[in-house]
Amino acid sequence: MTTLLESPPTLSALMPTYNRFPVILVRGAGCWVWDDQGREYLDFVAGIATCSLGHAHPRLIQAMNDQIQQLHHVSNLYHIPLQQELAAFLTHHSCADRVFFANSGAEANEGAIKLARKYAHTVKGYEYPLIVTAQASFHGRTLATLTATGQPKYQKHFDPLMPGFVYVPYNDLEALTKTVLELEQVAAILLEPIQGEGGVRPGDWDYFQGVRRLCDERGILLILDEVQSGMGRTGHWWGYECLGIEPDIFSSAKGLGGGIPIGAVLCKEQYNVFQPGDHASTYGGNPLACRAALTVGQTIEELGLLAQVHQRGEQLRQGLKALVATYPEWFQEVRGWGLLQGLVLQPSAPFQAGDIVKWAIEQGLLLVPAGTQVVRFVPPLIVTEAEVQMALERLGNALRR
């Protein structure tokens, strides 16, 4: 059994904004990473649902090598063909018609919020547009997306927060409808198809069908945050496909670039109200990031990874359900879609999700908490049957200790 480092080297120049596990990772290949002591770990974190193709994928290496020798960044003052190509790929594989490129999920959600507000002002004539979001949601760390996030623990000490946001329970259509009918000038409803940071909570089919009807009836924009659920993570290109609806606007990041920073705001043509000068991003859509995202998307398509995500996701789900059956005093259920799965602890469990993550590290398995009561499993989309089985075995070993 490996043991955790007592403590990593002191990096005093860094702001202490992260509670880091005491592991220093220096190399990766596929679904595996190695630390500075030569220990290997099976990576079921993937940069938190970001490294779609795993680590050091040969296609991504080749694409990045080629691109950085040609042109890696220019200003958006000029036309960038790779932006056009990537936008065409994304609109072809979604319900969207238009794309704006940013650097991250938070920036993508910021863009979606700005787009909705401008639509409300210029098309609906609203003076004070409101956006309804869900409790336990997570939309980013900027001031607007932090305010949109329905978790007070993330907002503490950062007030005054941005005005214009209202919160309702997730998957509760009655509460949402009541709130919308009581308020004036509701411009948009912003939801995650499956709440990731909020505990891996999938949206209910009937709930999202009702949300879509409510938006249509009231002339409200439906914005979906697909930062964690998009680009094949659920076994579909987008999480909204699991719910049988289409959003008006949605965001993407994380797995979009396979670990190279890129985000995107996507919308249908009739909601494309941005004009030159309304929104911008210095790094957004640079050639290097677009080449990475295009390579990720083409690889997912050419290797048939969506079908593989369904298969490996079901294998993982069944394995985790077996652990629930083995330890019913500790675990209550497994929930999720595709390769975004959560193992939910009993409220009475004598430990928290973070404890399991620490024990798993000692067994050579990397996992990530989703709050204190859920252990999250988000491996690369290329994970194999043998690797899923090995992850389940290592988790079992961690629990048996």
Give pLDDT tens digits for 267-311: 999 999 999 999 999 999 999 999 999 999 999 999 999 999 999
Give pLDDT tens digits for 223-268: 999 999 999 999 999 999 999 999 999 999 999 999 999 999 999 9
User: What average pLDDT does range 367-394 have in this prediction?
Assistant: 98
Neighbours of 73 (CB within 10 A): 12
Instruction: Round to whole Å and give the CA distance between 362 and 21.
Output: 11
- Reported residue count of the chain is 401
Per-residue model confidence (pLDDT) at position 357: 98
Three-class SS of residue 399?
Answer: helix
Instruction: Supply the mean pLDDT for the chain.
Output: 96
Question: Do the bridges between strand 130-134 and strand 98-102 make them parallel or antiparallel, or are there none, so unpaired?
Answer: unpaired
Per-residue model confidence (pLDDT) at position 401: 80
Could you please report the per-residue DSSP string of 279-346?
Answer: ---SSTT-HHHHHHHHHHHHHHHHTTHHHHHHHHHHHHHHHHHHHHHH-TTTEEEEEEETTEEEEEEP
Catalytic entry in 101, 138, 331, 377: 138
**Strand spans (E) along 71-176:** 98-102, 130-134, 165-168
Catalytic entry in 35, 43, 225, 248: 225
Please confirm, yes or no, whether 158 is among the known catalytic residues.
Answer: no
Looking at this protein, which amino acid is placed at residue 211?
Answer: V
Per-residue model confidence (pLDDT) at position 12: 77
- Which among 281, 255, 279, 283 has a CA at the least distance from the CA of 267? 279
- Which among 207, 239, 199 has a CA at the least distance from the CA of 341? 199
pLDDT band at 394 (very low <50, low <70, confident <90, very high): very high
Strand partners, 191: 224
Catalytic entry in 254, 274, 331, 377: 254
Three-class SS of residue 205?
Answer: helix
Please confirm, yes or no, whether 204 is among the known catalytic residues.
Answer: no
pTM score of the predicted model: 0.95
Give pLDDT tens digits for 297-356: 999 999 999 999 999 999 999 999 999 999 999 999 999 999 999 999 999 999 999 999
Please confirm, yes or no, whether 225 is among the known catalytic residues.
Answer: yes
User: What average pLDDT does range 59-85 have in this prediction?
Assistant: 97
Could you please report the per-residue DSSP string of 229-285?
Answer: TTTTTTSSSSGGGGTT---SEEEE-GGGTTTS--EEEEE-GGG----TTS---SSTT
